Chain A
């Protein structure tokens, strides 16, 4: 049997050749019958989204969360942009009024989950090992573990990575990309897939602006260039600048989730 095309030896192949040095050749029409096997080759149309399985599971997560009025946010960023710090601060400032649970994704360690628990919220840690992103199946298991309460916020902190997590729907309602002033104001145009996929861009660490070269207006402009619908928050999770606006928006979103769940119930329509 030919190692490259898989057809049997005794049909019209080229002259004998070394098995691993197989020049490109035309097999003719695909419906041709290979004489030795008497089997037709045929083309089967598939037309299926490669991530269909993940998207299906993400849809299940989304419906489950909506039914319980749980507002899920997928936080994405490069490593070290301050996702965990922003969540810790949010839990300390809003946790009394708004139940918050956190799913933490990292390649290794449960350091972030411990930080979140110390801040006063429930947390489940997912370690992806070699994996560079969370997927919908991992999040489904974590949701089962953490059992978010009704009318709450579920923050999913993705693996720090500005590339891969953009592709994987987890069942969240919104994706928030966190960037920081130490990363450079050109990140939106260098990592467009992530900024395009996000609903909100948070610019963190603005307390460091006196020490770094970073043009906030240029950053915002670049976010808009990539994604016209994205909302931008400029803040410092450590010093507290800009958090009031961020909290007002977040609280309104969670309240809106309750309304969406009610409307879905009334109309009998789940969200896609």
Chain B
């Protein structure tokens, strides 16, 4: 369940910067060596984002080499 902690990090990162705008899409980079499951991230993201400005946003996951775990960008409306 470390995906839950990771997703909390993602939601914090985008909601802190959204300034009240609605977040419609979030793009993250997940390294293949991090042992983080993209499907579990998507599931957790939906739950954690509820009640925040990122509720209902889509989560684009770019799998990269290495151990990176980064929020790259978001789309707001």
Contact = CB atoms under 8 A, between A and B. Distances in A.
Interface in A173-230: 192-193, 196
Given A46-B14, A46-B17, A132 B1 contact: yes
Nearest to B68: A49
A52 B13 contact: yes
A5 to B, nearest CB: 7
A131 B72 CA distance: 26
A272 interface: no
Contacts of B70: 47-50
A111 interface: no
Contacts of B9: 50-54
Interface in B19-75: 22, 24, 28, 33-36, 56, 67, 69-75
Interface stretch (A12-20, A81-89, A162-170): A162-170
Contacts of A167: 2, 6, 34-36, 69
B12 to A, nearest CB: 6
A269 interface: no
A46 B71 contact: yes
B10 A50 contact: yes
Given A52-B9, A192-B33, A41 B24 contact: yes
Given A130-B1, A131-B1, A167-B2, A44 B73 contact: yes
B71 A48 contact: yes
B2 A193 contact: no
Nearest to B36: A167
Contact of B17 (A5, A44, A163, A193): A44
Given A6-B22, A50-B71, A41 B14 contact: no
A47 B33 contact: no
Contacts of A49: 69-70
Contacts of A30: 75
A45 interface: yes
Contacts of A172: none
Interface in A24-42: 30, 34, 37, 39-42
A6 B33 contact: no
B54 to A, nearest CB: 11
B74 A43 contact: yes
A30 B34 CA distance: 31
Q: Which 9 A-B pairs have the closest CB atoms?
A: A164-B2, A50-B9, A50-B69, A46-B71, A41-B77, A193-B35, A48-B13, A45-B73, A6-B24
Interface of B: 1-2, 5-6, 9-10, 12-14, 17-18, 22, 24, 28, 33-36, 56, 67, 69-77
Interface of A: 3, 5-7, 30, 34, 37, 39-54, 130-133, 135, 163-164, 166-168, 192-193, 196
Given A43-B74, A49-B69, 9 more contacts: A44-B18, A46-B14, A50-B13, A51-B9, A131-B1, A132-B2, A163-B2, A193-B67, A196-B33
